[in-house]
Amino acid sequence: MHNEKPQTFIDIDHHELAARVEDYDRRGWRFVNICGSTVEGGVELIYSFSDGLPLENLRLTIDNATEIPSVSHRFPNAFFFENETHDLFGVRFLDISIDFNGEFYTVSVPTPMNPRSEKAREALQAAGADAAADAPAAADEEV
Protein backbone atom coordinates (compact mmCIF):
# COMPACT_ATOMS: atom_id res chain seq x y z
CA MET A 1 0.00 0.00 0.00
CA HIS A 2 1.25 3.44 -0.94
CA ASN A 3 1.45 5.70 2.14
CA GLU A 4 2.02 9.01 0.35
CA LYS A 5 -0.85 11.40 -0.20
CA PRO A 6 -1.75 11.58 -3.90
CA GLN A 7 -1.41 15.36 -3.84
CA THR A 8 -0.24 18.22 -1.70
CA PHE A 9 -1.11 21.91 -1.67
CA ILE A 10 1.58 24.51 -1.12
CA ASP A 11 0.39 28.04 -0.35
CA ILE A 12 2.62 30.67 -1.94
CA ASP A 13 2.67 34.39 -2.62
CA HIS A 14 2.45 35.37 -6.30
CA HIS A 15 6.02 36.75 -6.09
CA GLU A 16 7.27 33.18 -5.50
CA LEU A 17 5.60 31.69 -8.57
CA ALA A 18 8.41 32.15 -11.12
CA ALA A 19 11.09 30.63 -8.88
CA ARG A 20 8.88 27.67 -7.92
CA VAL A 21 7.99 26.96 -11.56
CA GLU A 22 11.66 27.17 -12.55
CA ASP A 23 12.45 24.60 -9.86
CA TYR A 24 9.81 22.16 -11.17
CA ASP A 25 11.21 22.56 -14.68
CA ARG A 26 14.79 22.02 -13.50
CA ARG A 27 13.76 18.82 -11.68
CA GLY A 28 12.00 17.46 -14.77
CA TRP A 29 8.44 17.70 -13.48
CA ARG A 30 5.60 18.28 -15.94
CA PHE A 31 3.04 21.04 -15.82
CA VAL A 32 -0.50 19.66 -15.49
CA ASN A 33 -2.87 22.63 -15.39
CA ILE A 34 -4.05 25.88 -13.82
CA CYS A 35 -7.37 25.92 -12.02
CA GLY A 36 -9.08 29.17 -11.08
CA SER A 37 -11.80 29.90 -8.58
CA THR A 38 -13.42 33.14 -7.50
CA VAL A 39 -12.84 33.81 -3.80
CA GLU A 40 -13.37 36.73 -1.44
CA GLY A 41 -11.07 39.51 -2.62
CA GLY A 42 -10.03 38.02 -5.97
CA VAL A 43 -9.14 34.76 -7.65
CA GLU A 44 -7.49 31.66 -6.25
CA LEU A 45 -5.14 29.97 -8.70
CA ILE A 46 -3.85 26.43 -8.35
CA TYR A 47 -0.90 25.42 -10.52
CA SER A 48 -0.49 21.63 -10.62
CA PHE A 49 2.75 19.78 -11.35
CA SER A 50 3.50 16.08 -11.53
CA ASP A 51 6.38 13.67 -11.42
CA GLY A 52 4.15 10.63 -11.26
CA LEU A 53 2.75 10.75 -7.75
CA PRO A 54 2.32 12.81 -5.68
CA LEU A 55 0.77 15.72 -7.53
CA GLU A 56 1.96 19.06 -6.16
CA ASN A 57 -0.23 22.14 -6.32
CA LEU A 58 0.93 25.70 -5.85
CA ARG A 59 -1.98 27.72 -4.47
CA LEU A 60 -2.08 31.50 -4.52
CA THR A 61 -4.74 34.16 -4.26
CA ILE A 62 -4.53 37.41 -6.18
CA ASP A 63 -6.66 40.51 -6.39
CA ASN A 64 -8.01 41.82 -9.68
CA ALA A 65 -5.13 44.27 -10.15
CA THR A 66 -2.27 41.76 -9.79
CA GLU A 67 -0.42 40.62 -12.90
CA ILE A 68 1.05 37.12 -12.92
CA PRO A 69 4.17 36.09 -14.86
CA SER A 70 3.39 33.56 -17.56
CA VAL A 71 4.88 30.09 -17.12
CA SER A 72 4.43 29.28 -20.82
CA HIS A 73 8.09 29.90 -21.63
CA ARG A 74 9.07 27.03 -19.30
CA PHE A 75 5.99 24.86 -19.92
CA PRO A 76 4.63 25.57 -23.43
CA ASN A 77 1.21 23.96 -22.83
CA ALA A 78 0.50 26.52 -20.09
CA PHE A 79 -0.56 29.09 -22.69
CA PHE A 80 -3.91 27.28 -23.05
CA PHE A 81 -4.63 27.55 -19.33
CA GLU A 82 -3.36 31.12 -19.05
CA ASN A 83 -5.58 32.33 -21.91
CA GLU A 84 -8.55 30.47 -20.44
CA THR A 85 -7.94 31.91 -16.96
CA HIS A 86 -7.63 35.38 -18.45
CA ASP A 87 -10.88 35.11 -20.41
CA LEU A 88 -12.96 33.54 -17.64
CA PHE A 89 -11.58 35.23 -14.52
CA GLY A 90 -9.87 38.39 -15.78
CA VAL A 91 -6.41 37.36 -14.53
CA ARG A 92 -3.68 39.23 -16.39
CA PHE A 93 -0.58 37.24 -17.35
CA LEU A 94 2.66 38.87 -18.45
CA ASP A 95 4.41 37.57 -21.60
CA ILE A 96 2.25 34.58 -22.56
CA SER A 97 4.03 32.76 -25.40
CA ILE A 98 0.82 32.65 -27.47
CA ASP A 99 -1.56 35.36 -26.28
CA PHE A 100 -5.12 35.40 -27.64
CA ASN A 101 -5.62 38.89 -26.13
CA GLY A 102 -8.95 38.04 -24.54
CA GLU A 103 -10.33 36.14 -27.53
CA PHE A 104 -9.49 32.54 -26.61
CA TYR A 105 -13.14 31.91 -25.78
CA THR A 106 -16.21 33.51 -27.24
CA VAL A 107 -18.19 34.48 -24.17
CA SER A 108 -21.29 36.61 -23.84
CA VAL A 109 -19.68 38.87 -21.22
CA PRO A 110 -16.06 39.47 -20.34
CA THR A 111 -14.71 37.42 -17.39
CA PRO A 112 -17.99 35.59 -16.68
CA MET A 113 -16.52 33.60 -13.77
CA ASN A 114 -15.47 36.73 -11.91
CA PRO A 115 -18.50 38.23 -10.14
CA ARG A 116 -16.43 41.35 -9.40
CA SER A 117 -16.64 42.11 -13.12
CA GLU A 118 -19.30 44.79 -13.64
CA LYS A 119 -20.40 43.30 -16.97
CA ALA A 120 -20.68 39.81 -15.45
CA ARG A 121 -22.87 41.19 -12.63
CA GLU A 122 -25.06 43.03 -15.13
CA ALA A 123 -25.45 39.87 -17.24
CA LEU A 124 -26.36 37.80 -14.16
CA GLN A 125 -28.92 40.38 -13.09
CA ALA A 126 -30.40 40.49 -16.60
CA ALA A 127 -30.49 36.70 -16.76
CA GLY A 128 -32.32 36.64 -13.43
CA ALA A 129 -34.88 39.12 -14.72
CA ASP A 130 -35.25 37.17 -17.98
CA ALA A 131 -35.64 33.90 -16.08
CA ALA A 132 -38.33 35.42 -13.88
CA ALA A 133 -40.18 36.74 -16.94
CA ASP A 134 -39.95 33.35 -18.67
CA ALA A 135 -41.08 31.33 -15.64
CA PRO A 136 -44.63 30.09 -15.90
CA ALA A 137 -47.00 31.89 -13.59
CA ALA A 138 -48.69 29.88 -10.89
CA ALA A 139 -51.89 28.64 -12.40
CA ASP A 140 -55.03 27.13 -10.96
CA GLU A 141 -54.88 24.20 -13.34
CA GLU A 142 -55.84 20.68 -12.64
CA VAL A 143 -53.11 18.24 -13.40
Residue 114: predicted pLDDT: 66
Q: Identify whether 94 is part of a domain.
A: yes
How far is it, in rounded angstroms, from Cα 35 to Cα 67?
Answer: 16
- β-pairing, 55-62 vs 42-50, is antiparallel
Checking if the pLDDT of 135 tops 50, the result is no
Q: Identify whether 121 is part of a domain.
A: no
Checking if the pLDDT of 121 tops 70, the result is no
Q: Identify whether 138 is part of a domain.
A: no
**pTM for this predicted structure:** 0.75
pLDDT tens digits, one per residue of 10-30: 999 999 999 999 999 999 999
- Please state the domain count of the chain: 1
**Least confident stretch, 32-46, 95-109, 124-138:** 124-138
How far is it, in rounded angstroms, from Cα 60 to Cα 45?
Answer: 5
How far is it, in rounded angstroms, from Cα 50 to Cα 57?
Answer: 9
Q: Provide the residue type at 111 as one letter.
A: T
pLDDT tens digits, one per residue of 30-58: 999 999 999 988 999 999 999 987 899 99
Residue 112: predicted pLDDT: 65
| Cβ proximity of 56 and 8 under 8 Å | yes
Q: Identify whether 93 is part of a domain.
A: yes
User: Who has greater pLDDT, 117 or 102?
Assistant: 102
Residue 54: predicted pLDDT: 81
For 17, 87, 123, 135, the CA distances from 108, given in Å and listed in that order, are 31, 11, 8, 22
Checking if the pLDDT of 80 tops 60, the result is yes
Q: Identify whether 113 is part of a domain.
A: no
Residue 115: predicted pLDDT: 60
Q: Identify whether 41 is part of a domain.
A: yes
Q: Identify whether 1 is part of a domain.
A: no
Instruction: Give the domain range for residue 78.
Output: 7-106
Q: What is the CATH number of the domain that holds 70?
A: 3.30.460.80
User: CB atoms < 10 A from the CB of 117, how many?
Assistant: 19
Bond from prior residue into 110 cis (ω within 30 degrees of 0)? no
Q: Give 46's Cβ-side CA count (13 Å radius).
A: 14
